[in-house]
Amino acid sequence: MKSFVLILVPLVAAVLAALWPGNRTRPLLLPAAGTLHSLLAFWMFLDPPAVAPGTWLGFDPLARAVLPAVSLLFLVCAWYGVAYLKVRSERPNRVFVAALLAVLGLLSAGLQARHVGLLWIFTEAVTLAAVPLLHFNGTPRAFEATWKYLLVGGTGIALSLLGSLCLGYASLYGGGQGDLTFEALIAQGGGLSRTWVLIAWVLLLVGYGTKMGLAPMHTWKPEAYGEAPGIVGALLAGGVTTVAFSAILRVRSVVGAAGEGLIADCTLLAIGLFSMLVAALFLLGTRDYKRMLAYSSIEHMGILTIGASFGPAGVAAALFHVWSNGLTKGALFLSAGNIRRAAGSPSMDAVRGMALLTPRSAAIFVTGMFAVTALPPFGPFFSELKVVRAALETGHWGATAMFLVCLLLAFFGLTRVVFGIVDGRPRAATRAGSQRFVETAGVILPPLALLGLSLWLGLFTPDVLVDAWSAAVSQLFPTP
């Protein structure tokens, strides 16, 4: 019951936003819905409802492990959104606000989906709901980015549908009765047809990997994140990738139950390392600080995937990283959005000296960059440390070495761009733009809050969270 309310609250708010007449008061629906959603999510987190076996939708341990992160991210972004939309008050925000709320509702549904088909339907709906968000800026470049997102993302969604159907056929071939909940599939275990399970795994990995932004299906990410407003980037990087990752985890548990866990882990490791490598190389060459964030997101999706390939300990580390990555990326995207608004250009060639023009945003941006490249005591340091420990415990020496090298290369790339735009003396053009952008509390406090949360997560990782992650791992690796 409560899981349905969790989905319905944002969706009803979306409908309300679509009908709301006032352009200036509409953004307030965002924090309203966000607060309600977060309260409910944390209540359910601390007092998890029992999930009856065989339900298609439910707040099961995996949802409990990651949904509060998404909810928290949305809440903080919602407060930022109010201030942001006030700055952008020249544009009508009806579709934007409605789409943001719809995305939250569909994400809640997707994270709680326990049925293969339902999971796909909600992931697809999120893909489509995010489209109006991407071309909010209305420039030709934004349209181009949206077109690419739709084409590549749409193909990924189609492939994951084909993969879901293959999984269904694997079940049918093994004598299943048509029950496609993940529980039933895991229970069928070795009875599933192994050929079809492998085909389904490849298709689902490629399909949901496209939504996550793993290489080589990442081509839509730099443009989409580069042209969308910062708040959209934060939600996509922290929320949508989470639901895709949870989908991959759920499917992997079915594949593991069917006996092909080794192949699944190998493919996850390969694709994760490839993503990190591609991201690191592009980071060394990029000159656009918003696209830089997209590449950093690709890199962290690689880290998640690598973590997921190391068995139970690795998955627990990956779930920790979902939280720390989401919060830190949120801070980065929001502060980058501020800088973009102030500087007027996303390119390193045109932007200099933001430390003088937007001191607070620049400070958050720099700190966030260090946090995301694993500076202690922020969250990502501890989560990446756990991933490395899981790797070493399972004997993946080469992978660990490559992982660390990619992290180092990414660090070079990120510092190059960030210090490039923050240091130095501002150019005349940027100075003119920044007169129009005032660093109010509304646009500074949210990214600061996210940064603080990331710090708190690293220093004082609450035991409740660690237990939640362990419970999720037990659900994903059921002992027969």
Partner 1 sequence: MNSNLNLLIGLAMGLNLLALGTGRLPALIRAMSAQGVILGVMPVIMEHELDWRVALVALATMVGKGLIIPALLRRATRAVSIDRELEPIIGFVPSLLLGAAGAIAALALTQVLPLMPEHAGSLLVPGALATVFTGFILLIGRTKAISQVCGYLILENGIYLFGLLLIKAMPLLVEAGVLLDLTVGVFIIGIIVDRIQRAFDSLDTRKLTALRE
Rule CB under 8 A: which residues touch partner 1?
A: 117, 120-121, 124-125, 128, 131, 135, 140-141, 143-148, 150-151, 154-155, 157-158, 161-162, 164-166, 168-169, 172-173, 176-178, 180, 193, 195-196, 222-223, 226-227, 282, 285-286, 291
What token pair was written down for 471? 């419970």
C-beta of 61 vs 153, nearer to partner 1: 153
Residues 264, 201 contacting (CB under 8 angstroms)? yes
C-beta of 42 vs 147, nearer to partner 1: 147
**Exposed, middle or buried by CB within 10 Å (0-12, 13-18, 19+), for 242?**
buried
CB of 83 to partner 1, least distance (A): 28
Rounded to the nearest angstrom, the gap between the alpha carbon of residue 45 and the centroid of all alpha carbons in its chain is: 20
Residues 101, 81 contacting (CB under 8 angstroms)? no
C-beta of 416 vs 431, nearer to partner 1: 416
C-beta of 179 vs 439, nearer to partner 1: 179
With a CB cutoff of 8 Å and minimum separation 6, the contacts of 101 are 10, 11, 13, 14, 17, 29, 30, 33
Residues 329, 234 contacting (CB under 8 angstroms)? yes
CB of 354 to partner 1, least distance (A): 22
CB of 219 to partner 1, least distance (A): 10
With a CB cutoff of 8 Å and minimum separation 6, the contacts of 50 are none
What DSSP string describes 382-414? HHHHHHHHHHHHTT-HHHHHHHHHHHHHHHHHH
C-beta of 236 vs 364, nearer to partner 1: 236
CB of 143 to partner 1, least distance (A): 5
CB of 117 to partner 1, least distance (A): 4
C-beta of 57 vs 161, nearer to partner 1: 161
Residues 111, 66 contacting (CB under 8 angstroms)? yes
CB of 195 to partner 1, least distance (A): 6
CB of 102 to partner 1, least distance (A): 12
CB of 88 to partner 1, least distance (A): 19
CB of 263 to partner 1, least distance (A): 17
Residue whose pair of structure tokens reads 């307030």 in the numeric block: 28
Examine residue 216 and say whether the peptide bond preceding it is cis (omega within 30 degrees of 0). Answer: yes
Which contiguous run of DSSP H or E holds residue 242? Answer: helix 241-257
C-beta of 48 vs 191, nearer to partner 1: 191
C-beta of 42 vs 143, nearer to partner 1: 143
Nearest to 317 by CA among 183, 177, 470: 470
C-beta of 180 vs 254, nearer to partner 1: 180
d(CA 410, CA 51): 41
What DSSP string describes 66-126? HHHHHHHHHHHHHHHHHHHHHHTTTS--HHHHHHHHHHHHHHHHHHHB-BHHHHHHHHHHH
